Amino acid sequence: MSNVWQDIHQNYKQQDWIDKPSIFAEQALPYFPKGGKLLELGAGQAQDGCYFAEQGFSVISTDLEDSALELAKQKVADKGASVEIQKVDLREELPFDNESFDVVYAHLSLHYFDHETTMRLIGEIQRVLKPGGVLAFLVNSVNDPEYKQGEEIEPDYFQIDKTAKRYFSEATARKYTQYFDVNLLDELGETYKDAAKGVHSLVRFVGTKPKKQKPYKLAIPYVGAIVERDNNGVKEVLLQTRWKPHDPLYSGTLEFPAGVLDKPYESVYETATREIQEETGLTLKAIRGEDKTKVYSPKGTDEIIAFRPFCCTQQLKDGKPWIGFVFICEVENGEPKAQLSEAKDTKWVAVSEVKQLFESSPEQFFGLELPAWEYYFKQ
């Protein structure tokens, strides 16, 4: 890989655009604070770092490739820019203190990693950003002409020649950045080198890390699905590992598929269908006890239904004010597939094994779902 990037940077060195700020750097700047500490990830030859230093920022530009670092140091010296160059591997924990930067900036450097690494990296970025700090990045789009070329490693992640690349949509970019307030998110990004090829669809994101937790005024509804199947006389349920680096308390615990009821007028059944599909790749077939409830329209234009979940759960203190509707579900035959979600290692497990683990080590389960599991094992 090192030789690949060495060749790329030597080629870039010959281009007329390598000494001027990127299109995205100039587009992102208006969203930044007036000065402060800026961390550039995957800086390449640091032309954007030099630009931000000229705008009054104290800049640390980082890269992993030695040849890029040498070219960056040369460019910084030639420009007389106040930019510190460091070697940093984005697959590892960022070597910076908590809440130490006002801006984290990444130009085409966050799309080389698998889902788990990308999640962890965004968590690291959130950690080193100050409250109110800004994250700005430009990444490959699913509308790129190269999308789906090469061997698929996981959804939207492909091995193309000697490089693995991830492709984002607005929706997947938002999933990775859900803990940021969005200032800019679209697929209108471009670069000097790709504009000539007619590529004008890179994903642009600029977001702000909230300064403090906003007070909750309303309960937050969610829908959960305990998914069952009969496997040659053995009752099994889908069990997955919660993967949210932003939530260290519960990340790594066991859970069933669940998600927020956050779309206006989306029914609980539609939410269950969506969450099962997004987290497991499976298709909802039936909900136990579900009837075709009558839809009432007393005003002629409205629609109101009644539904009966298997059970409900509610958070009464601390954390978020969750209230959940949990259903027992059946899916079309098949095995779960890796998805771009906040869960991993989804698999079918015998109910007897899950019950034994629940009774011996309840701390291994996601806390919000513990009461639902208790109800389930009592039936």
Work out the angle at residue 68's Cα, subtended by the Cα atoms of residues 66 and 72, and round it to the nearest 5 degrees.
115
CATH code given to domain 2-208: 3.40.50.150
* Cβ atoms 112, 164 nearer than 8 A: yes
* Cβ atoms 209, 129 nearer than 8 A: yes
Residue of 96 and 19 predicted with greater confidence:
96
Hey, what amino acid is at 158?
Answer: F
pLDDT tens-digit readout, 253-267: 999 999 999 888 999
How many residues would you count in the chain? Answer: 379
d(CA 89, CA 82): 22
- List the one residue out of 119, 220, 120 whose CA is nearest residue 175: 119
pLDDT tens-digit readout, 304-341: 998 999 999 999 998 889 999 999 999 998 899 877 67
For 220-378, CATH number out of 3.90.79.10, 3.40.50.720, 3.40.30.10, 3.20.20.70 equals: 3.90.79.10
Which element (helix H / strand E) includes 206? strand 202-208
Residues whose CB is less than 8 angstroms from the CB of residue 109 and which lie 6 or more positions away in sequence, other chains included: 41, 42, 43, 44, 90, 137
Q: Edge-to-edge strands of the sheet including 163-166?
A: 151-154, 157-160, 163-166
**Residue 331 Cα distances to 212, 222, 342, angstroms:** 40, 20, 20
d(CA 354, CA 366): 13
36-50 per-residue burial string, b: 16 or more CB within 10 A, e: under 16: ebbbbbbbbbbbbbb
pLDDT tens-digit readout, 40-67: 999 999 999 999 999 999 999 999 999 8
pLDDT of residue 303: 92
pLDDT of residue 82: 93
Ordered by start, the domain boundaries in the chain are: 2-208, 220-378
* Cβ atoms 224, 206 nearer than 8 A: no
Choose from 71-85, 94-108, 174-188 the range with maximum mean pLDDT: 94-108
Over residues 236-249, mean pLDDT:
84
* Cβ atoms 41, 106 nearer than 8 A: yes
Instruction: Point out which residues pair with 322 in neighbouring strands.
Output: 220
* Cβ atoms 57, 35 nearer than 8 A: yes
d(CA 61, CA 43): 6
d(CA 25, CA 15): 18
Q: Point out the least confidently predicted range of 85-89, 236-240, 335-339.
A: 335-339
* Cβ atoms 173, 188 nearer than 8 A: no
* Cβ atoms 340, 115 nearer than 8 A: yes
DSSP state of 30: G
pLDDT tens-digit readout, 135-146: 999 999 999 888
- List the one residue out of 329, 373, 369, 379 whose CA is nearest residue 355: 373
Over residues 9-28, mean pLDDT:
74
pLDDT of residue 292: 64
* Cβ atoms 227, 256 nearer than 8 A: yes
Residue of 216 and 46 predicted with greater confidence:
46
Q: What is the DSSP string of 263-278?
A: STT--HHHHHHHHHHH
pLDDT of residue 217: 86
- List the one residue out of 75, 68, 55, 73 whose CA is nearest residue 107: 68
